[in-house]
Amino acid sequence: MNAGSAISFPHRHLLGIEGLLPPQIEAILDLGDKYVEQSRRVDKKSNLLSGLTVINLFFENSTRTRTSFEAAAKRLDADVINMSVSTSSIKKGETLIDTAMTLNAMHPDVLVVRHSDSGAVQLLAEKMRGAVVNAGDGRHEHPTQALLDALTIRRRVGRLSNLTVAICGDIAHSRVARSNMQLLQIMGARVRVIAPPTLLPAAIDRLGVEVFTDMREGLRDVDIVMMLRLQLERMQGSFVPSVREYFRFFGLDREKLAYAKPDALIMHPGPMNRGVEIDSDLADDIDRSLIRDQVEMGVAIRMAVLDILTKSLRTEAGTTL
Ligand code: ASP
């Protein structure tokens, strides 16, 4: 690993996993390893982003992702501004452009954006002078989540290639699933999705994954089980008969997990609905569950992304890397 040197990352923004190449993903993961070490020190801070401004612009509620980005930026000594904006009262297209113009005038170096509409972050990025990081847009992409999941797996298992990963639950509404399906396949893993037909996206056949509607069949011999939250806020109408029924057929419990490999590991992007998509005991089982590691890796990956996207800026300014 030679984190920090000779990294070629030709993108100005991180809007999605789509379009990234394996060495670019590896470069971020390698840097992530470095920042896990930094974050475990008593003195967690370095001054890499000293003098730079990071704005966290959240149009959709989020506690964990915003906190994680905030911790990452502060650990690198950036000035951080958190803005929460409600979308309820605004005409979105127009206001987004206004927002971009207002923010440009404040000279942020990095803008971290979460928005409930797929594509909104891309639109903002087209108008922004600084780097833009997609912190989740609608059901489209959540690239730092897929990167942190990859780092979590790579650190525990040692590789991503040739693993079989099952992504289970509400695939249709999940940007986490969409980003993970892409990243895992780019890195040579086999991906299965398991969901009731009502929670599968229409174009699933074109995503290169194996599709199962039966949990026990889909889990057979997998290495990693990624559970997803039922995204009730994105559902209009009834996609599942009842939460109890959902847990019975698609909730992860020990009986269903027994179909996976004996040492299969469990992941969940959070926030979890305990007893809806995952049995509470299983979520806390330190031998099987990587859920807490995912949170730790989240900060490290976001530090890595801030590092890599500001590299050219810092080089131009003559700051040491
Ligand atoms: N935190 C993830 C997201 O923002 C997953 C979830 O909300 O269920 O997409």
Q: Dump pLDDT digits (tens) for 146-203.
A: 999 999 999 999 999 999 999 999 999 999 999 999 999 999 999 999 999 999 999 9
What integer pLDDT is reported at residue 90 of this predicted model? 55
Ligand 1 binding pocket includes 196 (Cβ within 6 Å):
no
Rounded to the nearest angstrom, the distance between the alpha carbon of 173 and the centre of ligand 1 is: 10
Token pair, residue 13, equals: 């923004």
With a cut of 90, say whether residue 239 has pLDDT above it. no
Of residues 120, 116, 181, the one with CA closest to residue 145: 181
Rounded distance from Cα 135 to ligand 1 centre (Å): 10
Tell me, in angstroms, the distance from the centre of ligand 1 to residue 114's CA: 11
Is residue 229 in contact with ligand 1, taking CB distance under 6 Å?
yes
In short, whether 230's Cβ falls inside 6 Å of ligand 1 is no
Residue 312 has pLDDT above 90, yes or no: no
pTM of the shown model: 0.94
Report the distance separating Cα 113 and Cα 135, nearest Å: 5
User: pLDDT (tens digit, 9 = 90+) per residue, 278-295?
Assistant: 999 999 999 999 999 999
174 CA closest ligand 1 atom index: 9
Closest CA to 53 of 122, 107, 112, 117: 107
Q: How many alpha carbons lie under 13 Å from residue 75 in its C-beta half-sphere?
A: 27
Residue 176 Cβ inside 6 Å of ligand 1? The answer reads yes
Q: Whose CA is nearest to atom 8 of ligand 1?
A: 229
CA-CA-CA-CA dihedral for 161, 163, 169, 172, to nearest 10: 30
**Residue 321 to residues 12, 47, 48, 197, 302: CA-CA distances in angstroms?**
17, 10, 7, 49, 17
Q: Which atom of ligand 1 is nearest to the CA of 62?
A: 4
